[in-house]
Chain A
Amino acid sequence: MTVAATNPMPTPPAKATHSLLVPNAAMGRRNAAEKRFRAYGLAAIAVSLSVLGIMLWSIFSDGLSSFFQAKLTFPVTLSSEVLDPAGNGLREEMTKVTTIGYGKLLTAAFTAELAAKGISTEGVTDKQLAEMISKDAPGVLRAKVLGDTSMLDQTITMSVLAAGRIDGYLKGRVTMETAERDGNISPEQLQLADRLKTARILGSSFNTRFLTSPDASDQRPEAAGLGVAILGSAYMMLLVLIICVPIGVATSIYLEEFAPKNRWTDLIEVNISNLAAVPSIVFGILGLAIFINFAGFPQSSSVVGALVLSLMTLPTIIIATRSSIRAVPPSIRDAALGVGASKMQTVFHHVLPLAMPGILTGTILGLASALGETAPLLLIGMVAFVDNYPSAPVEGFMDPATALPVQVYSWASRSDPAFIERSSGAIIVLLVFLVVMNVTAIILRRKFERRW
């Protein structure tokens, strides 16, 4: 083959020994080589697509069910004897009744409803019956009653979460066979669940709480949601944007348009490129040392997370911005300068607007990679159980929060099998955000891109 490639035509042919139109051995080999190469390429694409396919399939098959949740619906009479022992309807007095009291009220109401509908509870003890209601329910009811004390002595229809194992039964994760060996659920409870479903007390509906609720403890996987994580991620992205764009764009404009080319600017350039390649965990260590221990910012807060992620995102944004500024043809600058614009006017009236699509795309891609980052957050206390929503900005930036990828990680290490579904569900939400951001970047680029 090499002979054919380097010496295609034997020197000087007295007579044409072969024609290009007549296939010979050398040409056959070259064509075969090309065919093989195409096959390798196709195989490579097939492998990567199938890996992607397997990954997406496993995530979606595990995670889609987290968007649906089993709920029990039954009437509850908010007896003032139980909930307001002092009898004066004052909120302060009523706070003394804990969720344990509310739990008993719910169980009693549930049992009464079963009796009223004539559903047999054969083989299910009272304790097991109580355990079919999520441990989250009493807290929800308590918050509701304390929020509006005028509801006392009324009968309201409560729709509360069913326990995680019951939910798992409706989703096919828990079966009669696993229940035999499971210490937390019995087959009789599952049979009762079947009867409840026929009686329309138990049903499954879209789980908005998965997107809005805060995290929940290991005992109530059914109540765990992404609310705090989504808010935390949103706060961090907002702050990263506010911090990175001005600094990144200013740096790039200065380096591209104003800075003299000397050893110092070379050094700065090399350092920026190197920073982009630093492993993200290093920024976490830096963040802990500088922002928390030295500057005294609160632990687990989105502001510290955002500062750390900004350090990581800045080089990406600077590199993208510089290349899009460089792509603006010099003729534009020359024309502007030629009609008497100052250097500053040239940059801000002509170069920057033309470079904007590239800057936006770079920024969005930088943000997308920051959104998926977990390692640096590990060290600044954001991999935590946070049950309270951060308050509204600006104070909310100081409140503890988690982030989406962090929530995936902490759910994946919980003991209850129901958290596997939650973890995959959180990955789906994260993927949706990433796809939206990347698609926005592509649309912006398509819409504003100019070819010279």
Chain B
Amino acid sequence: MKFAKFAASALAMAAAASAADARDQVQITGSSTVLPYATIVAEAFGENFDFPSPVVEGGGSGAGRKKLCEGVGETTVDIANSSSRISQGDLDLCATNGVAEVMEVRIGYDGIVFASDVNSQDFAFTPADIYLALAKDIAKDGALVANPNKNWAEVNANFKDQPILMFVPGTKHGTREVFDTKVVEAGCKETGAYDLFAAAAEGDEKAKKAAAAKACMELRTDGVSVDIDGDYTETLARIDADKNGVGVFGLSFYQNNTDKLRVATMGGIVPTVDSIAKGEYPVSRPLYFYVKRAHLGVIPGLKEYIEFFVSDDMAGPNGPLAAYGLVSDPELAATQKMVADETPMGALN
């Protein structure tokens, strides 16, 4: 009896406390690629400011942006991390739910690297190699045929004899989009398969292009290309189990596991923070976070956190984020000014 009374009063007190107290820490959600960078900043923020450290959640770019657009108020998140740009659909959702203004902050670039077991051969890939290894249909003597390649030596005579086995990020990952457009589609065009797909498609010029791009991205389903829906740790474990595997990783993940992985060059360029910053290494993408402008000045520490994130001490070329594998944005100064002025993002172009 006493117990029940105590329980009821405890719950009532808890509910009252939630109504009275404003949330005093920043809530962040979104991309698991941006997550490690956000935690590094959140931790340093907690150490150096009198505000509590923000709470950072993973879960994926798309899910994070949807959460951001759920509405305005303390029970909604303040920042969505994203490894791809926000879409018009997200912005429309934001507008319907009363999230009028969103700030877009680009924090830098992330490289996507191909790596195999540390004792395997040195791969020097081109997008065409990847396409010939993984595509469902490839061009052969001017005609489309089902991909017959089973061995890297068949793909490119420069490679040593090794069965093809590739671990690519699953379709829910933002990384997959970059892999598709910058590697698979590029390889498709290089090998001439794109033109064959376009010729085979029906409709006007635009429809043909769309059909060809779609056909290019179809990967083979005979077990040679394996989709990994988990994290990079899963890809690493798969390569550990089957030494023939080649995996797709983020640059920062590779840099933390150089003792287990051997990185492949792409188009002759070794992926490093430097070569990505210069734009030489082709497979990279910008990383963003999106801030709910209505929460600035309401949630304590929000403005300070985003200013701290883009400061030279953090996101600059010598900061801890660059040390972890983020490629610093050459236009960081413009971003800093944008954040200081609290400029909301314009329409998507």
Contacts and interface: CB of A to CB of B under 8 A. Distances in A.
Interface string A193-228: 000000000000000000000001111100000000
A397 B40 CA distance: 26
A386 B55 contact: yes
Contacts of B40: 217-219
Contacts of B103: none
B302 to A, nearest CB: 15
A217 B36 contact: yes
A99 B319 CA distance: 13
Contacts of B4: 246, 250
Contact of B58 (A143, A246, A383, A386): A383
A305 to B, nearest CB: 13
A295 to B, nearest CB: 8
Contacts of B77: 299
Interface in B246-296: 252-253, 255-260
B39 A381 contact: no
Interface in A266-298: 292-293, 296-298
A417 B39 contact: no
A184 B47 contact: no
Interface string A158-194: 0000000000000000100011011110000000000
A100 B42 contact: no
Given A183-B255, A385-B57, A217 B42 contact: yes
A403 interface: no
Most chain B Cβ neighbours within 10 Å, of A142, A220, A395, A415: A415
Contacts of A178: 259
A217 B42 CA distance: 9
A183 B270 CA distance: 14
A387 B255 contact: no
Contact of B42 (A242, A246, A385, A410): A385
Interface in A52-91: none
Contacts of B313: 98, 100
Contacts of A356: none
B36 A415 contact: yes
B214 interface: no
Given A179-B259, A293-B75, A394 B10 contact: yes
A394 B43 CA distance: 26
B74 A298 contact: yes
Given A246-B3, A246-B7, A412-B233, A384 B56 contact: yes
A296 to B, nearest CB: 5
Interface stretch (B20-28, B169-177, B219-227): B20-28
B213 to A, nearest CB: 32
B257 A413 contact: no
Would you call the interface of chain B mostly helix, strand, loop, or mixed? Answer: helix
A329 interface: no
B18 A297 contact: yes
Interface in B32-46: 32, 35-36, 38-40, 42-44, 46
A303 interface: yes
Given A135-B320, A413-B230, A218 B39 contact: yes
Interface in A355-397: 381, 383-388, 394-395, 397
Given A384-B56, A388-B53, A242 B25 contact: no
Contacts of A243: 7, 11
B344 to A, nearest CB: 24
Nearest to A300: B55
B7 A242 contact: yes
B232 interface: yes
Nearest to A220: B43
A398 interface: yes
Contacts of B118: 181
A50 to B, nearest CB: 21
A245 interface: yes
Nearest to B32: A413
B231 interface: yes
B17 interface: yes
Interface string A337-352: 0000000000000000
A179 B259 CA distance: 7
A142 B231 CA distance: 35
A95 interface: yes
Contacts of B59: 383
A400 B256 contact: no
B14 interface: yes
Contact of A414 (B3, B36, B74): B36
A8 interface: no
Nearest to A177: B259
A98 B44 CA distance: 9
Contacts of B256: 184, 218, 415-417
A353 interface: no
A397 B43 CA distance: 22
Given A99-B47, A385-B57, A394 B42 contact: no
A303 B13 CA distance: 12
28 contacts: A95-B50, A135-B320, A139-B44, A217-B39, A217-B43, A219-B320, A242-B3, A243-B11, A246-B3, A292-B75, A299-B75, A383-B57, A383-B58, A384-B57, A385-B39, A388-B46, A394-B14, A398-B17, A398-B18, A398-B21, A400-B25, A400-B27, A413-B32, A413-B233, A414-B36, A414-B233, A415-B257, A417-B260
- Nearest 7 A/B pairs, CB to CB: A387-B53, A139-B47, A178-B259, A246-B4, A217-B39, A384-B57, A385-B56
Given A217-B39, A388-B52, 10 more contacts: A181-B118, A217-B36, A220-B43, A242-B10, A296-B18, A381-B57, A385-B35, A385-B39, A397-B17, A415-B232
